[in-house]
Amino acid sequence: MSKSWVSLWGSEQVCVHDDYQKTADWLLSQTKHRPQVAIICGSGLGMLADALKCQDAFHYTDIPGFPQSTVQGHAGRLVFGELKGKTCVCMQGRFHMYEGHSLCKTTFPVRVFKLLGVETLIVTNAAGSLADGLKPGDIMIIKDHVNFPGLGGFNPLNGPNDDKFGPRFPAMSACYNPGLRCLAMDIAKQQGVAELVQEGVYAAVGGPNFETIAEAKLMHRLGVDAVGMSTAPEVVVAVHCGLRVFGISLITNKVVKSYEDRECVNHEGVLEVSKLRSHTLQQLVSELVSRMDVNNNTAV
């Protein structure tokens, strides 16, 4: 049963081991698939699940304990299936803090994946670029992140630590697996899309508003390459419980950094660019899944 925990910021819901286990047990009773890889689809990127063969799909509304998706471009389905010889589970729709989910609900699926036997988590998102060399339609392989809500005390690991998942003070200095990043770069070259792909630092903010110009300038100065409203909390929880992580940001817009610039970002534009690049991203992720080693959590 989830419990209430009083934090610096007031009362928060925390989920306990039993909550994750119940959801995992239900899923294991409903599908024969035993996933090794989990994929979280960002805004407008749900089509990554279309490549899965022999699908078993569940609406979030039907999964006990699962939060619900409320954002356009996040279908709210969990899809199990085979992708190039690997068993995968794919979230068509993720949870964001700005929807009103507690951080434990935002990251709930990650621990469920761990209990399903997943070893590798692939996170994708739509993001705005701050780096001058990244333009809409580009693909950024996430090298590292800045978790702004986490720095301010909004961390999904707040509250009593569950030692069954991981340590009280987990290291975060190698969040994004170097071997998988390198493999993804090689695949991009082989697929002829290397000019679209580069590595960079992602920053997570709380949203749901897009950045002010002062905020954009601040993050640019701090060395952030792309900004979005998700991913970092999921990755913190994944690394805590020993999952290997690979992350991709699809750059859907540039973040306005000048008072003279009259461009204005909106969610519909974000979804449009996601759609345009969906095929390229699907090819890249499929090949990465195909070529990754799933039985050794430390190697590629």
Ligand X SMILES: O=P(O)(O)O[C@@H]1C[C@H](O)[C@@H](CO)O1
Ligand Y SMILES: Nc1nc2[nH]cnc2c(=O)[nH]1
Binding residues (CB under 6 A) for ligand X: these are 42-43, 71, 94, 96, 125-126, 207, 228-230, 267, 270
Binder among 49, 126, 175, 243 for ligand Y (CB under 6 A): 126
> Has 95 been labeled as part of a binding site?
yes
Stretch near ligand Y under the rule CB under 6 A, chosen from 48-56, 188-196, 207-215, 289-297:
207-215
> Has 94 been labeled as part of a binding site?
yes
Distance CA 160, CA 104 (A): 12
Binding status of residue 154 toward ligand Y by CB under 6 A: no
Look up residue 278 and give its two tokens.
């969906």
Catalytic residues: 43, 74, 96, 98-99, 126, 229-230, 253, 267
Q: 214 in helix, strand or coil?
A: helix
Evaluated on CA atoms 238, 86, 143, 125, the torsion sign reads negative
Output 162 or 272, the one with its CB closest to ligand Y. Answer: 272
Stretch near ligand Y under the rule CB under 6 A, chosen from 77-85, 126-134, 150-158, 188-196:
126-134
Who contacts 222 (Cβ-Cβ below 8 Å, separation ≥6)? 146, 203
Distance CA 221, CA 66 (A): 38
The interface partner of residue 253, options being ligand Y, ligand X, none and the CB cut-off 5 to 8 Å by kind, is: ligand Y
Q: Minimal CA–CA distance to 60: which of 17, 15, 98, 112? A: 112
Neighbour-count burial of 170, counting CB atoms closer than 10 A to its CB (0-12 exposed, 13-18 middle, 19+ buried): middle
The interface partner of residue 188, options being ligand Y, ligand X, none and the CB cut-off 5 to 8 Å by kind, is: none
Residues lying near ligand Y in the complex (CB under 6 A) are found at 126-128, 205, 207, 210-211, 227-229, 252-253, 255, 265, 270
